[in-house]
Structure 1
Amino acid sequence: MSTLAVVGAGPQLGMSIARRFAREGFSVALLARSVEQLEKLAATLRDEGAEAGAFPADIRDADGLRTALAAAEERFGGVDVLEFSPAPSLADLRKQPLVDASEVTVESVLPEFDLYVRGGITAVRQVLPGMLSRGTGTIIFTTGAGSGPMIAPHVANVQIATGGLRNWALNLHASLAGRGVYVAHVALAAMIGQGGPDAEPDAIANAYWTLHTERAEPELVYHAMPENWQMGAVADKFVVD
């Protein structure tokens, strides 16, 4: 049985991705900070017939993230698909607010690098050796469309980090071509659950399954914004998972 690990799992998109892959026979490892929420999500998946486990970890804690992924690999026999989608909580945003491009400081960017870039590298370094040894694997990074395709200067401190993660994802796709491991970046221009059927988490999750199965393009820019959306009213991810 193949295994999906969702790093940054939440009750909306993360859960829909988990369900989509579980329907195809995947075991699911859920990783995020909230122990209570993870246990509830994993229990729901098990009630629905999936094999699922909760592995609490703070993405900014490299040792803790490695330990959680290692535990998932030990339980399920390896991670075949890694979906990396960190999202700041409202509490995070209160402590580390969004910063306009004209006001960016080194101090405002470093925590975002810890979350997106350091977290992404840590997660990949844990699972990639196993994928390469098996000759197959999928890695999908998720950020807001402000990581590159869209411009939103009011969240520049986040976008500096997500832009770096996107750049590395695209280069990793090229570096691993021909070695059995497929890498993709999803740029979400969507407010999940708002904006019509295409913005529903289950609809977005279908796009992740297509990426995994077709293994074609290095990037998907997913557009599903409400008609009268205001850029200043949403954060970099355009989503709260």
Structure 2
Amino acid sequence: MTTFALIGAGPGLGLASARRFAAAGHTVALISRNAENLDGLTTELASDGIDARGFAADVLDIESLTAALYAAGAALGPVEILQYSPVPRADFMKPVLDTSADDLDAPLAFSVKGPVTAVNAVLPGMRDLGRGTLLFVNGSSAVRPNPNVAGTSIAFAAESAYARMLHDTLAHENIHAAQLIVPGAIRPDAEHSSPDALAQRLYDIHAKRDGFRHYSEPLPD
């Protein structure tokens, strides 16, 4: 059995993704900063008969993130699918003229160092399996820079570049890297951007392996 590892576990998209990939036969590793929240999520999943375990780690802490992913693979089986979808902090989203060089340290660590750390931790196991999927979830500022949210616009663009390079470099190893852009808010009543709809879309990207960048719905004009 292989593992679906979710970085940025929460009660919305995270829980929906965990359920969708578990339905396909994967064990579930939930990674988030808050251990108490993880306990609640794993308890809820267990009530549905889903084999899930929480691993506390901060994506801004390379050592803790690496340790969590190694522990997940050792406890649950090798990570075949990695979803990187933590929610950015509000202080990442200052207007561009109010953003200093120091203001970019945390967003870049969050959206670049975090993904690089996570991929480096799971890639050896995927290579041993002979397959794998790397899923990156971003907002619209990843592809359409927004001067009102400079930190995420810059950091998401860098994450996009990294993910695209992975897509091009790892394809011949049967490891598929892809990005899902969610232009607006994730809402339970949204046709294409509800947690369940996005979880299904992510699963389809994993299963179909048809290209790098996908959109949950068209970008608004």
Amino acid at match of 1:79: V
Match of 1:179 among 173, 176, 197: 173
**Corresponding position of 2:127:** 132
**Deviation (angstroms), 1:224:** 7.2
TM alignment of 1:124-203, pairs within 5 A: 124-148=119-143, 150-193=144-187, 196-203=190-197
**Corresponding position of 1:238:** none
- Whether 1:25 aligns to 2:25 is yes
Match of 2:200 among 206, 212, 218: 206
- Separation in structure 2 between the aligned mates of residue 211 and residue 140 of structure 1, nearest angstrom: 8
Amino acid at match of 1:6: L
- Separation in structure 2 between the aligned mates of residue 33 and residue 197 of structure 1, nearest angstrom: 30
Per-residue CA shift, 1:42-101, capped at 9, x if unaligned?
A: 11111101110000101100000011111100001210100001213xxx42xx352212
**Corresponding position of 1:104:** 99
Count matched residues.
Answer: 221
Name the SS of the counterpart of 2:79 in structure 1: coil
- Separation in structure 1 between the aligned mates of residue 92 and residue 139 of structure 2, nearest angstrom: 16
Q: Is the CA contact 2:8–2:86 (under 8 Å) kept in the aligned structure 1?
A: yes
Runs of 5+ in structure 1 lacking a partner? Answer: 232-241
**Corresponding position of 1:55:** 55
- Separation in structure 2 between the aligned mates of residue 195 and residue 103 of structure 1, nearest angstrom: 35
**Corresponding position of 1:75:** 75
Against the structure 1 CA distance between its residues 195 and 46, is the aligned structure 2 distance closer, same or farther, given a 3 Å change threshold?
A: closer
Runs of 5+ in structure 2 lacking a partner? Answer: none
TM-score (norm 2): 0.95
Against the structure 1 CA distance between its residues 97 and 63, is the aligned structure 2 distance closer, same or farther, given a 3 Å change threshold?
A: closer
Against the structure 1 CA distance between its residues 21 and 97, is the aligned structure 2 distance closer, same or farther, given a 3 Å change threshold?
A: closer
TM-score (norm 1): 0.87
Q: Is the CA contact 2:185–2:193 (under 8 Å) kept in the aligned structure 1?
A: yes
What is the percent sequence identity of the aligned residues? 33
Amino acid at match of 1:72: A
**Corresponding position of 2:7:** 7
